[in-house]
């Protein structure tokens, strides 16, 4: 999907990782290769390597290829590639919109917005979900019917820390392990071509936007989800967690009648574009305030 910035300009995004995964899952040869990539021990080895000192050799090539402006980040030496990947940005480079009636983006990402209905289907990392299959909880899924699902897609070159979109009370964290299902696409050869990535979600009880559901989706094989808190009070813009290496996704489910998303974002979604948003910036407004203005 193409992407636009908040000024309406089309921006080029090199989604090499997602394109590679799509090719792997859409061809017999790719599905065969995946048989050797999905075992847990492979993922653990990848994470182990990226956390070792030797992995630092990949940092400079990555910076050059993705034209990352390192002046925006805290100046320090990195002890591994994962240490670099989870680098912290300077606070002044990601100011937080503190207006209480504004909904903010939890991360740097490409955003699309979808209505939630009983038969909604959402494609997340090449896997199609219903709300029920996404949450593995029918009652929780029904609670958000009539609301909106905001899909924030991060690429490998995005800032991989994320924050709370509003102040409120945070619930416990619900963890959903990733799984692979087998089907028989060709002859009698069985390949794992339908995947569900590891997911983690919690509820954020906001005085303004009601009970929001915030979910993190890990990347295939490596992308570890690292959340910091649960069952506590949080403040908008406060860092919630980070992803280790891998393009990852954050999902925000809003209850019916809670917010109106900014017109440019809705227009872009309708036209088939993602919208480039940044950590802490306004992406919507409390619906009651909008009705009164």
Instruction: Kindly state the percentage of the chain with pLDDT values over 90.
Output: 68
Question: How much is the pLDDT for 89?
Answer: 97
Q: Which has the minimum average pLDDT: 8-22, 26-40, 44-58, 177-191?
A: 177-191
Q: Has residue 207 got a pLDDT over 70?
A: yes
Mean pLDDT calculated for residue range 187-196? 55
* Residues 53-80 pLDDT 10s: 999 999 999 999 989 999 999 999 999 9
- Average pLDDT over every residue of 250-259: 97
Residue 186 has pLDDT above 60, yes or no: no
Mean pLDDT lowest among 85-94, 195-204, 231-240, 271-280: 195-204
Mean pLDDT, rounded, for 158-185: 86
Give me the mean pLDDT over the 266-287 stretch: 97
pLDDT for position 138 = 95
Q: Which residue has the higher pLDDT, 138 or 46?
A: 138
Q: What is the pLDDT of residue 184?
A: 46
**pLDDT band at 188, cuts 50/70/90?**
very low
Catalytic residue among 55, 109, 167, 248: 248
Higher pLDDT, 127 or 40: 127
* HEC secondary structure over the chain: CEEECCCCCEECCCCHHHHHHHHHHHCHHHHHHHCCCCCHHHHHHHHHHHCCHHHHHHHHHHHHHHCCCHHHECCCCCCCHHHHHCCCECHHHCCCCCCCCEEECCCCEEEEEEECCCCCCEEECCEEECHHHHHCCHHHHHHCCCCEEEEEECCCCCCCEEECCCCEEECCCEEECCEEEEEEEECCEEEEEEEECCEEEEEEEECCCEEEEEEEECCCCCCCEEECCCCEEECCCCEEEEECCCCCEEEEEECCCCEEECHHHHHHHHCCEEEEECCCCEEEEEHHHHHHC
Average pLDDT over residues 209-232: 88
Active site residue 108: yes
**Segment among 54-58, 96-100, 125-129, 210-214 with least mean pLDDT:** 125-129
Beta-carbon neighbour count of residue 68 at 10 Å? 17
| Chain mean pLDDT for the chain | 87
| pLDDT higher than 50, residue 187 | no
Active site residue: 18, 83, 108, 158, which one? Answer: 108
Burial environment of residue 241 by CB neighbours within 10 A (0 to 12, 13 to 18, 19 or more): buried
pLDDT in the model for residue 37: 60
pLDDT tier at 292, thresholds 50, 70, 90 = very low
Instruction: Give yes or no: 258 in active site.
Output: no
């Amino acid at each position: 999907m193409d992407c636009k910035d908040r000024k309406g300009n089309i921006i080029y995004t090199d989604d090499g990782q997602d394109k590679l995964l799509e090719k792997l899952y859409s061809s017999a040869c790719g599905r065969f290769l995946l048989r050797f990539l999905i075992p847990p021990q492979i993922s653990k080895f990848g994470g182990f390597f990226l956390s070792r000192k030797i992995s630092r050799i990949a940092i400079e090539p990555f910076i050059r290829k993705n034209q990352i402006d390192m002046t925006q980040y805290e100046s320090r030496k990195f002890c591994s590639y994962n240490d670099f990947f989870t680098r912290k940005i300077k606070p002044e480079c990601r100011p937080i919109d503190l207006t209480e009636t504004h909904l903010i983006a939890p991360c740097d990402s490409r955003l699309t917005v979808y209505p939630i209905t009983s038969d909604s289907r959402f494609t997340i990392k090449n896997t199609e979900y219903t709300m029920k299959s996404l949450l593995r909880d029918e009652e929780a899924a029904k609670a958000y019917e009539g609301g909106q699902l905001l899909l924030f897609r991060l690429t490998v070159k995005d800032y991989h820390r994320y924050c709370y979109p509003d102040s409120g009370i945070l619930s416990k964290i619900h963890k959903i392990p990733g799984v692979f299902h087998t089907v028989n696409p060709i002859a009698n050869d069985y390949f794992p071509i339908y995947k569900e990535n590891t997911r983690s979600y919690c509820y954020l009880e906001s005085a303004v936007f009601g009970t929001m559901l915030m979910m993190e989706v890990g990347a295939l094989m490596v992308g570890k989800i690292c959340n910091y808190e649960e069952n506590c009070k949080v403040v908008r813009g406060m860092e919630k967690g980070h992803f280790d290496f891998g393009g990852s996704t954050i999902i925000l489910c809003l209850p019916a009648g809670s917010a109106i998303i900014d017109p440019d974002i809705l227009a872009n979604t309708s036209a088939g574009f993602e919208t480039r948003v940044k950590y802490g910036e306004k992406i919507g407004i409390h619906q009651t305030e909008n009705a009164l203005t």
